[in-house]
Amino acid sequence: MAEHFVKVYTRFNRVWHWSQVVSIMLLFFTGARMLGFHQLGPFGLAVTVHTLVALALLLLWAFATFWLFTTGGWRQFIPRLAGMVKVARFYAFGVFKGEEHPYHKTFERRHNPLQALAYFALKMALFPAIWISGLLYLSYNLWGANDAQAFWLGLVANIHVLAAFAIAAFVVAHVYLLTIGHGFREHVRPMLTGYDRVDLTPEAEAYLGQKGLLKD
Amino acid sequence: MKHAFFRTAVLVSAVVLGVGGALAQQSPTTNETEVGAQSRPAPGALAARMSDPVKELTADHTKFEILKGPFASGPEVTAACLSCHTEASNQVMHSVHWKWEYENPATGQVLGKAKELNAFCGNVASNETRCTSCHTGYDWVDVRQPMPDDPTKVDCLVCHDTSGQYAKQDNLAGNPPLVPVKEGAKTITGAKASPVDLVKAALSVGEPSRQNCGNCHFYGGGGDNVKHGDLSSALFDPPKAVDVHMSKDGANFACEACHVSDKHVLAGSRYNTDVVDPHADERKPGEARDVASCTSCHSDEPHEGPNPVLALKLNDHTDRVACQTCHIPEFARGGVATKTWWDWSTAGKLKDGKPYGEENFTQSDGKHLHTYLSTKGDFDWAENVVPYYAWSNGVMSYTLPETEIDPTQIVEINSIGGEPGAKDARIFPFKRMGGKQAYDTERNVLLYNHVYGPGDGTALWSYFDWEKSLKFAMDYVGLEYSGKFDFVETYMYWPITHMVAPKDDALKCDSCHSENGRMANVAGIYVPGGGIGIGGKLGLVVFLMVVLGVAGHGVLRLFGRKGGHHG
């Protein structure tokens, strides 16, 4: 096994990521406007932008899901226990003593076990919670005719807002964790260029080299 | 012989008379310009010819001899009208305008001006000649009895005069001021009364305009915009900003454009309001939209681009929120204030034995309005008023004269029907009138008052004695009265549906979608933006915990870095 600069993020992968960044930020901003956290811009514009961006993001997610399943990329996100304790111990203690991160990225496994678990939770719980509640919220008039006391609308709205805060918390942790290890810039660069330093088996090295996906 | 002569004389005179009659009948056809007042023109004699200009209507009332008078009274004009419109009075006599009585099919309550108590002057009974000055008839001096079955007592002119000078005097039981007009007399709009030219009025008859309806309905409660709040003299000729439908720069509607009439009965009711058009799905193209509701014309999906997302979202509101709620952002617009508080309990105070008044409210046009009158008590006024919002299915239930009240609470003279979220109900704007009214402290019922009756020794407005006034009124209507009275605070709700603003002036989203927004006290709804709710609070806790955790982690790493070499 040797470390190489490998193209780990394809163009679609990067577009997917940064589109999510932009749209989720817009959704936070407009959602906060509707919640009354700030008064920047009219409420109606916030509703419009929130609706359109959410629909666009859903479309992107549909494409991304298709892409993950056809490329096998979904395997990256399946959580596993191996190494979990080591990583957890690192974040809880080792990081303060200046220890090296115990996890080494491989081509098949970009994420450390804790990271994978976090993404899994995001994709399997928080994202579905936000878009299912969001679509129910948006389509209330199609199903809410008998919701005389607006109980179900209130429930849907509260779940939506709760999920939004949880995603916001994820974003905070996500950005913070970029500062750990090799530093913020080092962590962001691969998502811009597509290339990252990962451990490769000789077989993988040969294969990827042949495909022109190695930089060194 | 004698007999024979007599016979001949009769015959001859009969022939002469007959020929004369024939000649008299012929003369109009031979010479149209010499039509006498007594003779009847031949059929078609008045008809316009092809060379004449084409007119809108098929009858030109200025041509009718019978309308040229002379008339000594209103009923004489009505008699002339009835000579052609034989069924008109009977139609009117079957309307609320005439009967002042309305049996609400939804509640079974018998309402109407002749029956109910209100939060303004209180009651018509025992004050008739003053109150029935706005009746669409003549001489109703006792509302305990229905009007007599006399078709000439219907006042055609009050609705159909277009000369603009026909008016009703404010204390003649519906009659107009005629010569000689009493010194100081006023019309029902408060203007100085001058003698009405009945012939001019009769010759002018046409479709009712805002002027006709407004002369009564804009002055309900004894003055301009006192009662409704959304019906004031500002609507005679409103700018578009005040009313898009009635403005010359807007649709320039007369009242009947919405209050469609059928057999002299007009659509629209504040007792049983069509909050939701009950026949929306039943109409075929071209059928009359004879319901006085917004959706009758606008449908319940009226919002369109330029932003289709917003239009869809606004249309999503129409199953819960009445159009009026957003599109009449405030009532009493256009520079005429409405009365919002009327405290009868302070009426009767005198200065040096004389009644007095105070004018401490200044309207936007600079006019000073009464805030105290010895006759009526204390008032509050307001312009550009934010309505009171409530779920409404349009059905009003009244505290009737013999309904027991709870004097420890504010008594609702009428309460608004409709369950939150019900299919027949919408969140609707109201004017909430407040005040204090007399009630029987033993029997816990509202009391009738007797305010108008100069010279009778009991009327409040002349003698300022509540005891006498209440006693007289209760005796008049034949209801029990303990003789002990006090004043209880009351609310009365008036649906707000006029003064629809231009769409740019409609409420903005965050009028309601904000903390303490306009829907804050309305039950059965979830208003995004009305507060962050349990989900938001929980989410905020999670979020802040993560932020704190990250911050703490970061600080610890900074300390750690000092000792170690890697961060």
For the stretch B259-298, pLDDT in tens is: 988 899 998 889 998 888 776 666 666 665 566 788 888 8
For the stretch B107-160, pLDDT in tens is: 999 999 988 899 999 999 999 999 999 999 999 999 999 888 999 999 999 999
Considering only CB atoms, B529 lies closest to which of A34, A153, A168, namely: A34
Looking at this protein, which amino acid is placed at residue B205? V
How many CB atoms within 10 Å of residue A64?
Answer: 20
Percent of chain B with pLDDT strictly greater than 70: 89
Which of B513, B522, B558 to probe by mutation at the A interface, max A CB count within 10 Å? B513
Considering only CB atoms, A158 lies closest to which of B313, B534, B550, namely: B534
Give the rounded distance of the alpha carbon of A62 from its chain centre. 14
Identify the burial level of A169 via C-beta atoms within 10 angstroms of its C-beta, where 0-12 means exposed, 13-18 middle and 19 or more buried: buried
How many CB atoms within 10 Å of residue B256?
Answer: 19
**Cα–Cα distance, B259 to B396 (Å, whole number):** 19
Closest to B501 measured CA to CA, from B120, B240, B152, B192: B240
> Tell me, what's the pLDDT at B561?
64
pTM of the model: 0.88
Closest CA of chain A from B504, distance in Å: 13
Class of domain A2-211: mainly alpha
> Tell me, what's the pLDDT at B30?
41
**Cα–Cα distance, B300 to B291 (Å, whole number):** 14
Asked whether residue B22 carries a pLDDT value surpassing 70, the answer given is no
**Cα–Cα distance, A116 to A75 (Å, whole number):** 10
**Cα–Cα distance, B508 to A77 (Å, whole number):** 45
Closest to B232 measured CA to CA, from B215, B256, B249, B208: B215
CA distances for B486 relative to B202, B406, B476, B483, angstroms: 49, 13, 20, 10
> Tell me, what's the pLDDT at B32?
43
Residue B380, phi then psi, degrees to nearest 5: -120, 150
Which of B309, B555, B561 to probe by mutation at the A interface, max A CB count within 10 Å? B309
Looking at this protein, which amino acid is placed at residue B263? K
> Tell me, what's the pLDDT at A58?
94
CA distances for A22 relative to A33, A127, B36, angstroms: 17, 16, 91
Considering only CB atoms, B546 lies closest to which of A44, A161, A169, namely: A169
Residue B19, phi then psi, degrees to nearest 5: -65, -45
Closest to B533 measured CA to CA, from A155, A216, A30, A76: A155
Check B566 against A35: CB less than 8 A apart.
no
Asked whether residue B12 carries a pLDDT value surpassing 60, the answer given is no
- What residues does each domain of chain B span? 61-206
* Per-residue pLDDT band at B316 (split at 50, 70, 90): very high
Asked whether residue B521 carries a pLDDT value surpassing 70, the answer given is yes
Closest to B427 measured CA to CA, from B532, B505, B516, B527: B527
For the stretch A9-61, pLDDT in tens is: 888 888 989 999 999 999 999 999 999 999 999 999 999 999 999 999 999 98
Q: Could you identify the residue written with the tokens 């115990």?
A: A102
Intra-chain end-to-end CA distance of chain B, in Å? 154
Considering only CB atoms, A98 lies closest to which of B423, B513, B564, namely: B564
Q: Concatenate the DSSP letters of all residues of B541-554 into one string.
A: HHHHHHHHHHHHHH
Check B310 against A44: CB less than 8 A apart.
yes
Closest CA of chain A from B530, distance in Å: 8
The structure tokens listed for B103 are 């049996």
> Tell me, what's the pLDDT at A103?
77
Closest CA of chain A from B391, distance in Å: 12
Task: Give the DSSP H/E element, type plus range, for residue B325.
Answer: helix B323-327
Task: Give the DSSP H/E element, type plus range, for residue B214.
Answer: helix B210-217
CA distances for B6 relative to B13, B17, B19, B35, angstroms: 11, 16, 20, 36
Average pLDDT (B475-487) is: 96
Check B543 against A172: CB less than 8 A apart.
yes
> Tell me, what's the pLDDT at B7?
55
Check A145 against B319: CB less than 8 A apart.
yes
> Tell me, what's the pLDDT at B276?
85
> Tell me, what's the pLDDT at B24?
42
* B429 prior amide bond cis, ω within 30: no
Q: Which residue of A has its CA nearest to B533?
A: A158
The structure tokens listed for A155 are 């429930």
> Tell me, what's the pLDDT at B283?
62
Q: What is the tally of helices (H) and strands (E) in chain B?
A: 15, 17
Question: Which residue pairs, CB below 8 angstroms and at least 24 apart, start in B141-144?
Answer: B141/B173, B143/B100, B143/B113, B143/B114, B144/B476, B144/B477, B144/B478
Average pLDDT (B455-478) is: 95
Closest CA of chain B from A208, distance in Å: 32
**Cα–Cα distance, B313 to B513 (Å, whole number):** 13
Judge whether A214 and A202 are in contact, CB under 8 Å.
no
**Cα–Cα distance, B333 to B229 (Å, whole number):** 9
Check A95 against B560: CB less than 8 A apart.
yes
Check A157 against B526: CB less than 8 A apart.
yes
Judge whether B178 and B231 are in contact, CB under 8 Å.
no
Asked whether residue B23 carries a pLDDT value surpassing 80, the answer given is no
Judge whether A155 and A132 are in contact, CB under 8 Å.
no
For the stretch B337-366, pLDDT in tens is: 999 999 999 999 999 999 999 999 999 999
DSSP for residue B318: G
Greatest C-alpha distance within chain B = 161
- Which residues fall within 8 angstroms of residue A31, CB to CB, at 6 or more apart? A46, A50, A161, A164
Any bridge partners for residue B262, and if so which? B265
For chain A, what is the HEC assignment?
A: CEEEEEECCCHHHHHHHHHHHHHHHHHHHHHHHHHCCCCCCCHHHHHHHHHHHHHHHHHHHHHHHHHHHHHCHHHHHCCCCCCHHHHHHHHHCHHHHCCCCCCCCECCCCCCHHHHHHHHHHHHHHHHHHHHHHHHHHCHHHHCCCCCCCHHHHHHHHHHHHHHHHHHHHHHHHHHHCCCCCCHHHHHHHHHHCEEEEEECHHHHHHHHHHCCECC
Considering only CB atoms, B525 lies closest to which of A98, A150, A161, namely: A150
Asked whether residue B3 carries a pLDDT value surpassing 60, the answer given is no
Which of A28, A38, A47, A138 to probe by mutation at the B interface, max B CB count within 10 Å? A47
- Within 8 A of B319 by CB-CB distance, chain A residues are 141, 145
Asked whether residue B378 carries a pLDDT value surpassing 80, the answer given is yes
Point out the least confidently predicted range of A139-143, A189-193, B345-349, B558-562. B558-562
For the stretch A84-121, pLDDT in tens is: 788 888 887 777 777 778 777 777 777 787 888 888 88
Interface pTM (ipTM) of the complex? 0.89
DSSP for residue B490: E
* Per-residue pLDDT band at A192 (split at 50, 70, 90): confident
- Within 8 A of A114 by CB-CB distance, chain B residues are none
For the stretch B216-255, pLDDT in tens is: 999 999 999 999 999 999 999 999 999 999 999 999 999 9
**Cα–Cα distance, B558 to B567 (Å, whole number):** 8
Asked whether residue B14 carries a pLDDT value surpassing 50, the answer given is no
Any bridge partners for residue B431, and if so which? B494
How many CB atoms within 10 Å of residue B310?
Answer: 18
Judge whether B385 and B361 are in contact, CB under 8 Å.
no
**Cα–Cα distance, B57 to B385 (Å, whole number):** 42
**Cα–Cα distance, A199 to B257 (Å, whole number):** 81
Check A42 against B553: CB less than 8 A apart.
no
Using left for φ > 0, alpha for ψ between -120 and 50, and beta otherwise, residue B31 falls in beta
- Within 8 A of A149 by CB-CB distance, chain B residues are 420-421, 524
- What residues does each domain of chain A span? 2-211
Q: Which residue of B has its CA nearest to A34?
A: B529
**Cα–Cα distance, B364 to B239 (Å, whole number):** 16
> Tell me, what's the pLDDT at A211?
78
Considering only CB atoms, B536 lies closest to which of A35, A39, A97, namely: A35
Closest to A176 measured CA to CA, from B555, B540, B561, B559: B555
**Cα–Cα distance, B357 to B344 (Å, whole number):** 14
The structure tokens listed for A13 are 């992968």
DSSP for residue B455: T
For the stretch A123-157, pLDDT in tens is: 889 999 999 999 999 999 999 888 888 999 999 99
Average of per-residue pLDDT values in chain B: 89
Closest to A141 measured CA to CA, from B299, B318, B252: B318
- Within 8 A of B310 by CB-CB distance, chain A residues are 44, 47-48
- Within 8 A of B560 by CB-CB distance, chain A residues are 95-98
Considering only CB atoms, A169 lies closest to which of B510, B543, B564, namely: B543
- Within 8 A of A161 by CB-CB distance, chain B residues are 532-533, 535-536, 539
Q: Which residue of B has its CA nearest to A98?
A: B566
Point out the least confidently predicted range of A3-17, A85-99, B303-317, B492-506. A85-99
Task: Give the DSSP H/E element, type plus range, for residue B210.
Answer: helix B210-217
